[in-house]
Amino acid sequence: MFDSMMPLTLVCAMLCVSACVASCPPRCECSDAPRTVRCASAAIPRDASSLIITGNAIPRLDPSAFSGPQNATLLNLSDNGIIEIGSHAFSSLLALRSLILNNNQLVLIHPEAFSVPGSPLQELSLRSSLYNYSSLTDLITALRWGELTNLLRLDLSGNRLVLLPPGVFAPLPNLQHLHLRNNSLVAIYNGTFSGVEQLLELDLTGNAFRTISDEGLRELERLGRVRLLLGQNPYACTCEAQEFANWLNSSKVRVDDVDGLYCEFPASLRGASLRGISAQGLGCYGNVPEEITDLSLQTSYVFLGLVLGFVGMVFLFVVYLNRKGIKKWITEIYEACRDVLEGYHYRYEIDSDPRLGHVSTATINQTLAPWFTLRSL
């Protein structure tokens, strides 16, 4: 792959000065003081500890592309126009701790692109390298499959990110430094930073936050000891921002640039300190949306009470107009029920008398029939 890179600028920091001077590769310039080797279209020395390969045209990194320098701890492939990273592209670099892929055009990242046996990688920088949103999806899969349990620093600055899925950083349990500056993030949701309890620094500078919702504030509060950077965002100082301002003044989270957070909107408050705004200054007296909601509910309850009261009055008026007929109807029902119960009671007394045990039911019915007829008349 590297034979096609003409010219190839390679800077290799050697393990020691003597090795750098004594074994300077052909067509290379060796420097004693910085312990570096500059080569053009030459093989990479196997004992190089740092590889800096920049400014070339390398569209694809094939599996095991770096089979020579197994002791390399740093690999910088910035500004190479890399479009695709294949699976196990860096698997031969068993000591690799820092991988820098800034300013590329990554369209396709294979699931095991960053997988290295032993998980030695501690720093991954992809600044201004994700081509589109599908690249972010591939990156999330690669972070999950790469077993990057020892990763301490991740830089995703300048990638036009708008939203971060919940749990995107959960596969990185030891992550301490997360840089998301100069993106287009507009909101923080519950679970956005779940799984990174070791986080010490979170840089959200230069995004598109107009405010941070209560949900986002709870998520940031959960991070606890993190050092937070929130500057250079277009904050809108409206009534919705009052909770954010209160949080800045009372949170246990350390916002290092809190004094540099300013209102961008409205124009009358542009340049005002976000930390110093108040409800009176914003023209907000209480929680207006909740008050409006409560008033609407109260109005609904009053209207419902009036309707039910009107229906009740109509019902009572109808009952009053038909009181005589209703009284007669109730009396007739009462007498009919009484006759039936008396008949059942009389029959029970006859059935319980042992002297009438030989009398049939038909005979009893014939005997009681005239009585029922008279009662009905």
Q: What is the pLDDT of residue 133?
A: 87
Are 132 and 74 members of one domain? yes
Residue ending a domain, among 151, 174, 207, is: 151
| Residue 158, pLDDT score | 97
Can you give the pLDDT at residue 328? 82
Same domain, 2 and 111: yes
3-state secondary structure of 80: coil
For the chain, the residue count is 377
Cβ atoms of residues 75 and 90 within 8 Å: yes
pLDDT tens readout for residues 244-271: 999 999 998 999 999 999 999 999 899 9
Say if CB 86 and CB 109 are below 8 A apart.
no
Same-domain check for residues 9 and 122: yes
Residue 256 sits in the same domain as residue 157: yes
61 and 79 fall within a common domain = yes
180 and 267 assigned to the same domain: yes
- Spatial strand order of the sheet with 48-53 comes to 28-31, 36-40, 9-14, 48-53, 74-76, 98-100, 123-125, 153-155, 177-179, 201-203, 227-229, 254-255
Number of domains in the chain: 4
Q: pLDDT > 70: what percent of the chain?
A: 76
Q: For position 176, what pLDDT does the model report?
A: 97
The alpha carbon of 45 is separated from its chain's Cα centroid by a whole number of angstroms, namely: 46
Residue type (1 letter), 264: E
Residues 92 and 8 in one domain: yes
Q: Which domain holds residue 66?
A: 1-151
Nearest-10 crossing angle of helices 361-376, 323-352: 160
**CA end-to-end span of the chain, whole Å?**
117
CATH of the domain at 171: 3.80.10.10
Residue where one domain finishes, among candidates 120, 151, 182: 151
Co-location of 353 and 227 in the same domain: no
Q: Which ranges in the chain belong to alpha helices (H)? A: 17-22, 133-145, 214-222, 242-250, 279-282, 288-321, 323-352, 361-376
pLDDT score for 189: 94
77-102 pLDDT, tens digit each: 999 999 999 999 999 899 999 999 99
Positions of the chain with pLDDT under 70: 1-23, 25-29, 31-43, 64, 68, 285-295, 346-377
Same domain, 317 and 239: no
pLDDT in tens, 205-230: 999 999 999 999 999 999 988 999 99
In 223-262, where does DSSP find H-type helix? Answer: 242-250
pLDDT in tens, 351-371: 666 655 555 555 655 655 555
Q: Clarify whether residues 1 and 46 are in a common domain.
A: yes
Nearest to 182 by CA among 130, 243, 144: 130
Structure tokens given for 183: 């993106």
Q: Are residues 248 and 207 in the same domain?
A: yes
Q: Both 241 and 165 in a single domain?
A: yes
